[in-house]
Amino acid sequence: MSSTPASSGLAATSKTKGAGLSDRWFSVLLITPAMLITLIFAILPLAQALDVSFRMGDLSRGKIGDYVGLENYRVVFADSTFWQAGWVTLKFTVVAVGLQMLLGVGIAFLLHGATFAKGLTRSLLILPLATSAAVTGLFWRYLYDTQFGVMNWILGSLGLPEPNWLGDYTIALWSVVLFDIWQWTPFVALIALAGLQALPKEPFEAAELDGASRWRILTTLTFPLLKPVLFLVLVLRTIDCVRLYDAVAVLTRGGPGTATETMTFYLYRTGLKLFRMDYASTMAVFFLYVMLVAAVFALTPLLKQFTDRAKEA
Amino acid sequence: MKKSLASASVLALLSSGGAFAQECTDPVQITWSTIAGFYTDAMAGFVKSFEDENCAKVTVVNIDNSQLYNKQVIEMVGQTGAYDVVTLETAEKAEFAENGFILPMTEFFKDQKAIIEDVSPTLRAMTVEYKGDVWGLPYYTYSSGMFVRQDLLDDSTEQAAFVAKYGYDLAAPTTWEQHRDIAEFFTRKQGDMLKGQPLDKDLFGVGLMAGPFPEIQDELSAPLWGMGSDWLNAEGQVPVDDVEKVLNGYLELMKFAPPAALTVTYDGVMNQMKDCQIAMTHGFFLDQWPNAVKTEENCPGAKMAAIEAPMKKAYVGGFLLAVSSSSANPDMAMKFVAHIGGPVIQQQFAEMGGASTLTSVLTNPMFATPEKRTTNGQYATLNQVFSSMAGFSSNLFKTPFGAKIYNTMQIPLQSAASGQITARQAAEQLAADVEKICGGPCPIAN
């Protein structure tokens, strides 16, 4: 590998900064704090969760017990509530993320073309993101209240049916979805807007000169160029939705019955209500495995695209 | 520990000293984990008097009711000593005692039996005793009866209409069938007549706590215990047929409850009552009387009554104060339990409108006066409940898995209430959940 004079100079500088350390050891020194934090707060707990998933672990009995092989995995995989929670999580994620992407991108286009109050609208969009779901969830619980809530007051005033937003098991999950859409669509919109504003102008000017229709510009230029940004938002929102807990905890506590019980909420109930840390750890390990596999599949093309672009640049 | 023993010795020497507070330079530290709300604020004054009398410093940790059990178990398992005095729900006592999380206080109360005997025998069996030992003192009872709009039951127009429809007199229900009839009878639409006047809003026959909180099981305990059954039979299993039967009765009642029944807990039902939306409750916590009686201010002509639940059985329980086995100052902690649960503080607590646990307080004539009706008007009914349920104890409170079962059972029950599954499926699911929690039939202590 050849080094340019500039890089040699940089290396020399870094050696000086590193007080006699080689580049390699200086790099190691720089990443050590981050690695230590990751090790203490992520790797070690994960290792312990993995360990507990193979042992008897009824915490209310005072200790983590003996190794039981794959018994916990057998119990968890045979647990219909676990799979039902998985199904609820999947439904929630697909619908919430889908709608958030559609609405968010739509809002981004509207804002991109707006000629006035753009800054104010952008600021207002940040508001739902600035507060925690635990706080806004309480606020929404009152909005949804069948007797005293604003939603039903408005619907009732218009002579429309007044649904039992959080009490009817057929719609409770969609009420949580609606809340999540309210909170997270602005995130998608803001990122998509930033992506739109960062697009190069030249290809669009050339397309206009060539007489390309708006639809053609949208499908052949805008979306392909925006794809990496949208894909990143899609991945981030999907990960966030899959581990949904706070909105469910505040709005429905998993109810009515188990209609809104997500994987994370069931994991919490198993671990911190029943104190079966063995089952909870098993679920967590399985959950992490699924997420890792999905993330690798999802992120590989994106990372490849970023790498290719960097090389081209 | 040495420090605590030294402090205890000093305490013993000076316990009768009136000028103690002046000599207290190194107070014994104890921490009490308790429920945020539920008159905990009122306890601050009682804590102060304890500190002054005993050279102690009590730190009160207020924890949201939904998190209290988790927090306490975690601290007990870790033996952190973070809490010296813990607050337990009735179903949690056996688990904490069996796992050695709390200390028996039998020896401590050996010379103070009067205090223990002052706790109603029914409440004592449910909350205080386990395997022959005493595990603390309850300081607050949420034992259940029922609240009814007595003015509706007393109205001659309504009485005549009721007899015509059901063939028997309208009165406080003594069976769950009557309770259902009354709930149906008073379920009316806006514009319908009530006591000869048109209703300005819908009226529902009964308020129910079928939300995602551990209260639906408290309600259902009333008809289940009333029919002579229990959540766990002698073999430690859920009697599926009995649970199905009471759940079907409950589902029948859902037709006469506000739609919000599926999202509310006890405070929601009280709001419905005060908003003139419901005619009566199911089995309901009598400590809520000061709240329920406010209906009389909000609803013209309303007259509230606290009565026993049909079949004279309902959920009996209280918040038990117990001493953590990892406490660094168990002697002082036990004194604190005796102080808060004892007659002096309980009397003061009652004067503030609290639901005392002591018979001497509940039967004190000073609380039976018309002036005290709005704060202590439920005491006579509480005494009736304890009397009617004398000798009764639920197996749910005799198994060390009681807390876990209690924290799980609302899920299948609420699933049935919401129509997600049938009563039979819910009862079977409950039985399966309980078997899973206990690893087979649940052990029941004698």
* Mean pLDDT rounded to a whole number for chain B: 92
Q: Which residues of B117-153 are buried (b: 16+ CB within 10 A; e: fewer)?
A: ebbbbbbbbbbbbbeeebbbbbbbbbbbbbbbbbbbb
Cβ–Cβ gap A257/B411 under 8 Å: yes
Task: Specify if A305 maps to a domain.
Answer: yes
Q: How many CB pairs under 8 A join A and B?
A: 91
The CA distance from B308 to the nearest CA of chain A, in Å, is 29
| Range(s) of the domain holding residue A83 | 79-312
From the list B70, B213, B420, the residue facing A257 with the nearest CB is B420
Report A:261-300 residues touching B (Cβ under 8 A): 272-275
Residue B105 sits in the same domain as residue B203: no
The arrangement of strands across the sheet holding B85-88 comes to B56-63, B28-35, B85-88, B318-323, B137-141
What's the pLDDT at A130? 87
Q: Is A134 on the interface with B (CB under 8 A)?
A: no
DSSP H helix total and E strand total for chain A: 15, 0
Answer yes or no: is B294 within a domain: yes
Q: Tell me the one-letter amino acid at B193.
A: M
Which of chain B's residues have a Cβ under 8 Å away from the Cβ of A254? 212, 411
Whether B394 is in a domain gets the answer no
Q: Is B250 part of a structural domain of the chain? A: yes
Secondary structure of residue A168 in the 3-state scheme: coil
Nearest to A164 among B213, B262, B415 (CB): B262
State whether B279 and B428 are in the same domain. Answer: yes
Q: What is the CATH number of the domain that holds B291?
A: 3.40.190.10
B37 touches chain A (CB under 8 A): no
pLDDT at A9 over 60: no
Residue B330 and residue B243 share a domain:
no
In-domain check, residue B339: yes
Asked if A146 lies within 8 A of B211 by C-beta distance, the reply is no
CA dist A284 and A5 (Å) reads 51
Question: Facing residues of B322 across strands?
Answer: B86
B residues 189-248 lying closer than 8 A (beta carbon) to A: 211-213
Domain contains B445? no
- β-partners of residue A203 are none
- CATH number for the domain spanning A97: value is 1.10.3720.10
State how many domains chain B has.
2
* Within a domain: A70: no
Does some domain include residue A106? Answer: yes
Contact across the interface for B263 and A164, Cβ inside 8 Å: yes
B53 contact partners, CB below 8 Å, separation of at least 6: B20, B339
A300-309 pLDDT, tens digit per residue, is 877 787 788 7
Let me know if residue A62 belongs to a domain: no
pLDDT in tens, A195-250: 999 999 999 999 989 999 989 999 999 999 999 899 989 989 999 999 999 999 99
**Residue A64 included in any domain:** no
Cβ within 8 Å, pair B408-A273: yes
Residue B230 lies in a domain: yes
Residues B27 and B165 in one domain: no
Q: Does B249 touch chain A (CB under 8 A)?
A: no
Domain tally for chain A?
1
Q: What is the mean pLDDT of chain A?
A: 88
Pairing verdict, β B28-35 and B56-63: parallel
Contact predicate A243/A155, CB 8 Å: no
- Are residues B275 and A164, on separate chains, in Cβ contact within 8 Å? no
- For B418, which of A257, A273, A275 is closest by C-beta distance? A257
Residues present in chain A in total: 313
Q: Which residue among A63, A259, A274 places its CB closest to the CB of B420?
A: A259
* pLDDT band for position A312 (cuts 50, 70, 90): confident
pLDDT at B45: 82
Residue A19's pLDDT is 57
Report if residue B356 sits inside a domain: yes
Q: Judge if B270 and B157 occupy the same domain.
A: yes
Q: Which domain holds residue B282?
A: 144-315+399-438
Query: Quick check: B415 and A274 CB within 8 A?
Result: no
More reliable by pLDDT, A3 or B252 = B252
The answer to whether residue B209 sits within a structural domain is yes
Tell me, yes or no, whether B7 and B112 share the same domain. yes
Chain A positions touching B70 (Cβ under 8 A) are: 272-273
B300 in the same domain as B180: yes
Q: Model confidence over B324-359: pLDDT tens digits? A: 999 999 999 999 999 999 999 999 999 988 999 999
Q: Identity (one letter) of the amino acid at A156?
A: G
In chain A, residues 157-186 whose CB comes closer than 8 Å to chain B:
164, 166-169
Please, which residues have CB within 8 angstroms of residue B63's CB and are 6 or more apart in sequence? B33, B34, B35, B36, B71
pLDDT of B22: 58
What's the order of all strands across the beta sheet hosting B304-307? B284-285, B144-149, B304-307
Give the residue ranges of chain B where pLDDT is below 50: 1-21
Measured between CA atoms, how close is A146 to chain B, in angstroms?
6
Is a pLDDT exceeding 60 seen at residue A3? no
Contact A274 B404 (CB under 8 A): yes
Reported ipTM: 0.84
Q: For B405, which residue in chain A has the nearest alpha carbon? A: A274
| Same structural domain, B178 and B231 | yes
Residues B15 and B149 in one domain: no
For residue B132, give the DSSP letter: T
Q: Answer whether B9 touches A (CB < 8 Å).
A: no
Residue A32 belongs to some domain of the structure: no
Assess contact for B112 and B118: CB atoms under 8 A.
Answer: no
